Amino acid sequence: MTNTVEVIQATLDHIEQLAPMFNEYRQFYKQPDNLNGCKEFLTARIERQESVAFIAFVDGAPSGFIHLYPGFSSVYMKPLWTMNDLYVRSSARRQGVGFALLDQAKAMALETGAILVKLSTEQRNIAAQKVYESKGYKKDTTFLHYILPLKENL
Q: Is the pTM of this model over 0.85?
A: yes
Ordered by start, the domain boundaries in the chain are 5-134
Q: What confidence score (pLDDT) does residue 143 get?
A: 87
Residue 78 predicted with pLDDT over 70: yes
Residue 3 predicted with pLDDT over 60: yes
Residue 135 predicted with pLDDT over 90: yes
Q: What confidence score (pLDDT) does residue 154 get?
A: 67
Mean pLDDT rounded to a whole number for the chain? 94
Per residue, the 3-state secondary structure of the chain, as one string, reads CCCCEEEEECCHHHHHHHHHHHHHHHHHCCCCCCHHHHHHHHHHHHHCCCCEEEEEEECCEEEEEEEEEEEEECCCCEEEEEEEEEEECHHHCCCCHHHHHHHHHHHHHHHCCCCCEEECCCCCCHHHHHHHHHCCCCCCCCCCCCCCCCCCCC
The domain 5-134 is placed in CATH, from the list 3.10.105.10, 3.40.50.720, 3.40.630.30, 3.20.190.10, at: 3.40.630.30
- Give the mean pLDDT of 35-58: 98
